[in-house]
Structure 1
Amino acid sequence: MHIPTVRSLMKAAYLRICQGESVPPGQAALLLSVFALGAFFCQNLDNHKIVTSDRDASQLSSFLCKEALDVLDYSHQNASGTIEDVQALILMCYVTYHLDGFSARYRLLLAQASSIARDLRLHRLDANDHLSENAEVRTRELVEREVKRRVFWHIAATDWLQSVISGPQEGTYFIHPQHVNVRLPRDCNDDEICLGENNDLVVEPQPTGMTFFLERVRLSHICREATDILPLETSKLVQIPYEQIILLDKKFQDFFSSLPFFFRIDSESRQKSKLLEIVYTNIGIMRYCITTAAHSRRCRLHQRFLLRQFFNNSYAYSRKACLESARAIIQIHEDPLRKEDSTPRTKAQTGMAVHFIHLALVVMVMDLCINKDIPGEEGRKEEVKATLEILERARDISPILGRSLDSLYEVLRKYNVSLSVTLSADAKEVPELTPDTEIGSLDPLYHVYMQSTQLELHGLGPGTNFDGVSQNSPQFEANLDLITWDNLFSAVDSRPF
């Protein structure tokens, strides 16, 4: 969004309401979506008359979410769509994601935003460079065009970024780069848009309102390339030249090394950015978001090769890269500067961090359980133990997290990995598994171990003698474990806390 424009729109909307006039539905939906997202991240304020707890914030957000969606539905039925409709749908994607997770409603909202953007021909925005000669009109056109570039590239980047995470959309995207004629938004603050079309040359990068946005777009291009190259089926994935995986990884490494210094997590860059963070207080959360987004997708790239080093040492590179990114996710969470930040964090913000930590944890547990008798095993155990204790302290964030942690404890026990983790008061005793244990009584993350569909992949029906097969086929359990771990990672990958 262009913040001055939205503020002006808000003032005009309230003036219309005070005068008993109607507000255009697209504009009303945009304001309601801003309020819904703001309510969800609202921090507890002393003497606040409406929001006194996280529950109040969530309920208020849900109410505003429903109202915004109702207005959007009305707008779709009575108008052809406006840029405000698209902006509102984008914000409602975020609200829905936090309320429902990566749900069908979330994906539908994103598809609607993409469809209206196409109807507005945002993908051909810069096919015609004509601007008015009138200075006042030209200024307005510059702002409008810049906002539309932001809207289009947000939709495109989201489309490509999500093509590499688990879910129905995995392995596909809607927007093809060859069909696009839209320049990237300028790396400038809102009040600098009208100073000219060309970016000024700067000796050293400075954070603007668009710096994070542009890095997100750059990351999305790498994800789109990965989607074009990598097949979804693991059986086909392991048949492509492994050099292609290395080349994709090189793109991720180049991305990290070319980030502006204030977004990097190495100690030298962190020290260098301290002064900037005093002025630009949002650098910390932006650094966290871009780092975890990139490293989690790098983990995703290598995760299906992580355990295959056990059978083929040529995949050692993937194990190293996967663990490296998992550790980076943990490192940025434990960043000492974040610990010094006295700004209170909402439950939602903590939940976002927990999601990425859990992804990193699954990678480390996978490696610890399968790749045994490798130098440094005790150190890896300590890493897993420390990460488990981080999540134990956040167990009350979501019941999903509690169940997932219990499942991981059972996984560790299954592989005879002993860790002395300090459990929180809410932790439940890990269930004892017996041949008579009902599958439905276990958490869905552990359910994957016994799925009949996975057995059928190996030619096994419901009446198959499991013990006989496992004795006659030494590779069976190892192969099933690989599928199991792939599915376990996918389950966590697509389910936020």
Structure 2
Amino acid sequence: MHMVTPTRRGQNPSGKQEVQPGHLILVLSIIAAATQSWAPSDDVNRVFSSPSEANEQVSLWINAAEDVLEATSRRRKISIEGVQGMILVGFMAAHIDGLHRYRVLFANALVLARDLGLHRIDHPHNSGKANTSQAEIERRVWWYLCASDWAMAARVGGVGEGIYSCHPRQMITKKPLNINDEEALDGMSRHERPLSLPTSMSYTLQRIRLAELSRNIVDRSPLMMAHTGGLSHDAVMDIDTELQTLINEVPGFYSMTTPMLMENYGLTQTRAADIVFQGKVVYFLLYSQRCKIHLPYFIRSSEDSAYYSSREICLKHARLLIRSNIWSENADIDNVIQNKLTELLVGVFLACAVLLMDACVSPLSPQQYEQREEIFRSFKIMEIAKKGSETTSKFIDSLIHILRKNQTSASDSAPSEHQEPPAYSDGKGERDHQTFPYEETSIDNSISPGYGIYDSLGFPETTEDPFNVNNGPNIVARSGEHFNSTREDISSYWTDFTHNFEEGVAIDPNSFDWDSIFMELDSSFI
């Protein structure tokens, strides 16, 4: 492949016709996406010797797209194709380099979109182009940016938490229609298909609905409320009700199998398989958001019975995230692709943190073996995904680092094998219902498609058990490698921690500063 040098004044290789910078950015971003998701099944023409060779080129193409943008945006507006290209570039950069770079690239895409007037497509001054295919494409791009902006404000911590840039009162662009791509024509009417019918826009519209709820979460908890501890528990439960309503209203076709979709809607096998996977992602994002909103009250439930409902909901949906057969070998999408969807991996990290903390507080729970298996699964998912992903590596490292940092002096002495956590009153691990007056919630595997316990994860065969220190360096211990100054300290700590966990030794919940752990996890990645 020959990459056009962006400094040649935007000319094509023959020099006969000017190449539009936006078009070039989009082409470069598509090449980057292809090399990032390259799988063995793609190598029919032997373009690359291996998927690894293709993956190694991703950063090159991302940097090339950024170079074109930097060289041309100073002198002219970038076309809609350029905005689409920067969205793709940001999506890939999030997986490779982390969320900071994603925020920067996303901000660039948003500025470019506003320069094109995508936030005012349906202003009366633009009535002449309102029913064109170009306007409909622009609506799709704008609302994708809005949905991403609102989702980040509610789900990603740090300095960007609770802040969004797309304000509903500062835009006059209608939502995209629920129509197929081939129905977006010049002179088209504003009639659309019912939401109960699958179209090219079904997933996007579901994503927008969840994003609008995310924006409402942010609006209910402005930054000035930080001194009051954030959302009240009553407000959290109100939001939870809205999320449950949204889950109940997910279109029925997202619960169908590929053959059912082909038979009922006359879809091709490829299109039907795409819809099946989209349905799994829709439920995954809904469950991830539901788990996230209950996180602040999850650990407080051990001290205040008023928060037990939050504990149950948070824990239940953390388990659903890990049990999703999105991660199984028959998930209707290449494993190499699903492990590069950062938005999904953030949900896995969140679920892992919740399950691990619950295991610390209740190590002798009647579901202790199931707990360990679920945590094991979450680490296996992240261990595979961290290869080539700085973001996922940081997810794992931060969890280890934060747990190590916030372990108090009470943990310096080895916990007694007979020590019982506050939730249990006898050596049999039976729950004390006077202290914890609620029943353990069993997982209903029929809640939604793709969330049953799966038999095959599709992971490479390995003899390493992350909870067995006798097998040598383990997954969890190795993941401290990025903290160079404390690598041995972290590995040693984690080995001891997982050994106690494997042996069923009760870990004193007071040995961790849980408030600090939640605060740091929330401000880092979740």
Give the TM-score normalised by the residue count of structure 2: 0.70
**Following superposition of structure 1 onto structure 2, how do residues 461-480 of structure 1 map, counting pairs within 5 Å?**
480=513
Query: 2:296 corresponds to which letter in structure 1?
Result: R
Q: Residue 388 of structure 1: which of 358, 376, 381 is its match?
A: 376
Q: 2:203 corresponds to which letter in structure 1?
A: F
Which residue of 213, 220, 224 corresponds with 1:222? 213
Provide, for residues 162-215 of structure 1, a one-character-per-residue CA deviation record: whole Å limited to 9, x for no partner.
00121321111111111121111111111111283333454x723221111111
Q: Deviations over 1:325-364 (max 9, x none)?
A: 21221232367xx543575421663674554323212111
Equivalent positions of 1:104-183 (< 5 A) are 105-128=101-124, 142-164=132-154, 165-183=156-174
- Quick one: which amino acid aligns to residue 273 of structure 2? T
Residue 36 and residue 405 in structure 1: after superposition, are their counterparts in 2 closer, same or farther (change >3 A)?
same
Q: Given residue 348 of structure 2, which amino acid in structure 1 is its aligned partner?
A: I
The letter for the 2-side match of 1:488 is: L
2:188 corresponds to 1:191: no
Match of 2:81 in 1: 84
Q: C-alpha distance in 2, partners of 1:95/1:205?
A: 31
Q: Which residue of 1 aligns with 2:294?
A: 302
5 Å-filtered alignment, 1:279-318, equals 279-318=271-310
Give 5+ residue unaligned stretches, structure 2. Answer: 1-10, 388-392, 418-464, 479-484, 495-508
Q: Distance in 2 between matches of 1:26 and 1:160?
A: 26
Larger RCO (CA within 8 A; separation ≥ 6):
2
5+ long unaligned stretches in structure 1: 1-14, 133-137, 432-437, 448-475
- Asked whether the equivalents of residues 322 and 377 of structure 2 are also in contact (C-alpha less than 8 Å), the reply is no
Mapped pair 1:72 → 2:62? no
Task: Write the deviation string for residues 224-261 of structure 1: whole angstroms up to 9, x where unpaired.
Answer: 11111125699745475422111111111111111112
Question: Are the equivalent residues in 2 in contact too, given 1:16–1:22 (CA < 8 A)?
Answer: yes
Q: Which amino acid aligns with 2:320?
A: A
User: How far apart, CA to CA, are the structure 1 residues paired with 2:232 and 2:125?
Assistant: 43
The reply on whether 1:379 has 2:367 as its aligned counterpart is yes
C-alpha distance in 1, partners of 2:416/2:378?
19
- The answer (yes or no) to whether the contact 1:29–1:68 under 8 Å persists in 2 is yes
The 8 Å contact of residues 178 and 193 in structure 2, kept in 1 or not, is answered as no
Report the structure, 1 or 2, having the larger helix content. 1
Cα 1:428–1:215 shift into 2, 3 Å: closer
What does 1:478-489 correspond to in 2, within 5 Å? 480-488=513-521
Identity of aligned residues (%): 23
Query: In the alignment, which residue of structure 1 is the partner of 2:57?
Result: 60
* 1:427 equivalent in alignment to 2:474: yes
The residue matched to 1:150 in structure 2 has which SS? helix
Structure 1 contact 160–224 (Cα < 8 Å) conserved: yes
**Separation of aligned partners in 2, 1:358 and 1:397:** 11
Name the CA distance, whole Å, in 1 between partners of 2:381 and 2:118. Answer: 45
- Distance change >3 Å, CA 348–CA 51, structure 1 → 2: farther
Distance 1:248 1:54, change over 3 A: same
Shift of 1:292: 2.2
Determine whether 1:35 maps to 2:23.
no
- CA distance in 2: counterparts of 1:186 and 1:379, whole angstroms: 46
Deviations 1:249-298 (CA, angstroms, capped at 9, x unpaired): 1111111111112335xxx8899658568452212331232222222222
Q: Secondary structure at the match of 1:346?
A: helix
Distance 2:312 2:215 in 1: 23
Instruction: For residue 483 of structure 1, report the CA deviation from its aligned partner.
Output: 1.9
Alignment CA distance shift 1:487-1:381 (3 Å): farther
Corresponding residue for 1:472?
none
Distance 2:189 2:330 in 1: 40
Question: Any idea what SS the aligned residue of 2:121 has?
Answer: helix
The equivalent residue for 1:398 is 386
Letter in 1 for 2:302: F
Using structure 1 for the length normalisation, give the TM-score.
0.74
Q: Could you say which residue in structure 2 is the equivalent of 1:469?
A: none
Structure-1 residue corresponding to 2:317: 325
SS at match of 1:173: coil
TM-aligned CA distance change 1:85 to 1:201, over 3 Å: closer
The answer to whether structure 1 residue 366 and structure 2 residue 362 are counterparts is no
Task: Quote the RMSD (CA, aligned, Å).
Answer: 3.9
